[in-house]
Amino acid sequence: MRVFIIILQFAFYSDAEKDAFVYPTILQERSTERNLVLRLNDKFTLNLQRSSVLADKLLFVTTSDEVNHLEEIDTSAIQKTLYHDTHYQSSVRVQQRDDAVQVEGIINDKLRIKPVPEGERSMKGQILHKIYEVNNMNEGSFIAEEKPRKSHIEANVDQNPSAKPKGVNSRRIEERRNREEFEVELHIICDQKHQSNFDKNEDLIGYMAVFMNAANLRYLDIRNPKVRFLLVGITREKGKPFRSRHSRYTDTTETLNRLQAYEAEKKVPGKHDALLLVTGLDLVKVQNGHLEKGIAGRAFMAAVCSSHGVGVAEDTATTYMGVNTVAHELAHILGSDHDTSPRCPWREGYLMSYVDGGLRKYRLSQCSQDSIRDVYRGLNSQCKRVLTKVNYMDKHREFPGETVGVKYYCRKRIFHYTKGKKVKAFALKGTQDAQNCKMQCCYWQGNMRTCWPTPMLERMTCLKGKTCKRGVCGVHEW
């Protein structure tokens, strides 16, 4: 077995004292390939472990004002590049590019690292990187979250969560709880301003993976159950469905209500437990005509697995400045209020306080953990299951193209991504798509048309007199 030891040797400093330029170098030694040791200097040595934050098949949605384009992304290549360090709360991607190392992400709460594309390479061909400092979002700028009415969430709650099955003793129940893990399936919408900073879809996916990988580190202490966010979908929002009438900032109340309505109308494809809007605009609070700036995020309380399980958070793209904000808002969705009790005082500065408690601000207090456990134990089994790992097409391999109608096929194909809601599906067969044995399965949601690129089944008609066989449209022998 091998371990990759990455040594970042400082090449030179920029005029700004807080910036440094380095060349990453990989050395191979005996150990496991899942671990990396990242040495920056005598002060920082990161012991990196392989991370898991992406669903195997991630739903990627590109949305304009009138149409959704959906893709199913195999994340295995990205997943192999994700690492974290629990001590420094580091979250980075480590990639091999042209026989050189490329590192990008979070070193700690202040320092970030990224490649310098235009930078000169070293004599050994190493890529120049920049280590720089960022300021976190204002920790005191969250606002009070709203609690949805009981009727909004009761469908996702067991009626008697505390009741234990007959014949099962409390000791066995506790042992089972100790092994429990709550994988919260999360869909993130990146608004027009935020997503515009990423030219390629892979770049946006990679950034949000590192982002949520860092957010997951805030939940490492909780047990019974363990909590981990699984990124199952990303929407690249090119329209302006959530933006308020102001051009440079967005009102949190108005935006949160629009987002909740959007989720209630099932306009976000796929299956998820929580929905988060990440915005590049300034968040504000407007009350009685008064505009309050400096707001970082907002979410509904204890609303996971319901249409109110939504939140909004501000982030400056490519800086990861909003990680703590997102972790904070997601804790609200899972059931945690702010730390204001005598047992968990505000001044201690855990994640659910605005006070800077040092390392504590990257952890949940015992009160927050207890609140999340209480909500979790009341959730029904469907909410607790990971639904996105089910591959719909694996269940329907037995239906050949000559016996399955196109409309029926599209309806079944789309069913998985509309949360079981019945829609009027139809197929679009463009000549170019058909020549490649592909078509578009579509449906209307109000005035919004959503289309899913879909491969045709074996022996399904592609062009006149021709069928599909192993992805080739032609006259085949069967």
Q: What CATH code is carried by the domain that includes residue 278?
A: 3.40.390.10
Which of residues 286 and 17 earns the better pLDDT score?
286
Q: Are residues 373 and 398 in the same domain?
A: no
Q: Are residues 412 and 263 in the same domain?
A: no
Q: Are residues 415 and 309 in the same domain?
A: no
Q: Within a domain: residue 141?
A: no
Please calculate the CA angle 91-94-95 and round it to the nearest 5 degrees: 150
Give the model confidence (pLDDT) of 120-150 as tens digits: 787 878 888 888 998 766 544 555 455 554 4
Q: Are residues 350 and 466 in the same domain?
A: no
Q: Are residues 304 and 168 in the same domain?
A: yes
328 labeled part of a ligand binding site: yes
338 labeled part of a ligand binding site: yes
Q: Are residues 112 and 175 in the same domain?
A: no
Q: Within a domain: residue 408?
A: yes
Give the model confidence (pLDDT) of 357-388 as tens digits: 888 888 999 999 999 999 999 999 889 887 76
Q: Within a domain: residue 274?
A: yes
Q: Are residues 424 and 301 in the same domain?
A: no
Q: What is the DSSP letter of 267?
A: -
Give the pairing of strands 226-237 and 54-63. parallel
Q: Are residues 229 and 323 in the same domain?
A: yes
Q: Within a domain: residue 77?
A: no
Q: Are residues 354 and 443 in the same domain?
A: no
By annotation, the residues acting in catalysis are: 329
Q: Model pTM?
A: 0.76
Q: Which of 166, 250, 205 is nearest to 59 (CA)?
A: 205
> Residues 286-308: what's their mean pLDDT?
89
Give the model confidence (pLDDT) of 26-61 as tens digits: 664 435 567 887 776 667 777 888 999 999 999 999
Q: Are residues 442 and 465 in the same domain?
A: yes
> Residues 203-229: what's their mean pLDDT?
93
Q: Are residues 347 and 377 in the same domain?
A: yes
Q: Within a domain: residue 140?
A: no
Q: Within a domain: residue 194?
A: yes
Q: Are residues 208 and 288 in the same domain?
A: yes
Cβ pair 447, 461 in contact under 8 A:
no
The number of distinct structural domains making up the chain is 3
Which of residues 258 and 454 earns the better pLDDT score?
258
Q: Within a domain: residue 63?
A: no
Residue 127 sits in which domain range?
Answer: 2-48+84-133
Q: Within a domain: residue 73?
A: no
Given phi > 0 = left and psi -120 to 50 = alpha, else beta, which region is 98? left
Query: Of 353, 384, 415, which residue constitutes the final position of a domain?
Result: 384
332 labeled part of a ligand binding site: yes
